[in-house]
Structure 1
């Protein structure tokens, strides 16, 4: 799979799992599934960064997201 696609999917999973972690903690429950999802998202992002030559500079992240989203449409 393309590192750009994995990077964007990892970012999306990470962003979406943060509210689940906060919700579970506020209810007094253990955030098991949300934590596992967050770790998977982190692994996807790390794998994408390590397999992309030069990595992902901060200023290129919006361009990468736009490129991946436009490739799906």
Structure 2
């Protein structure tokens, strides 16, 4: 799997896990599933960073997302 896809999937899971964690804290229940999703997201992003020669920078992230979306559409 391309490292761009791994990074984009990790960012997507991370974006969806943060509101789930906040909801769990607001309802005073343990955020087990959302925390597991957040850890999975972080591990996917670290995996993509390690596998990419030269790594990623913050300025690369929008290009990665647009490239993955364009690949999915085409």
- Partner in structure 2 of residue 71 of structure 1: 71
Query: How big is the alpha-carbon RMSD for the aligned residues of Structure 1 and Structure 2?
Result: 0.5
Provide runs of 4+ in structure 1 moved above 6 Å. none
Structure 1 spans left out of the alignment, 5+ residues: none
CA separation in 2, counterparts of 1:42 and 1:19? Answer: 16
Corresponding pairs, count: 73
Structure 2 spans left out of the alignment, 5+ residues: none
Q: TM-score of the superposition, structure 1-length normalised? A: 0.97
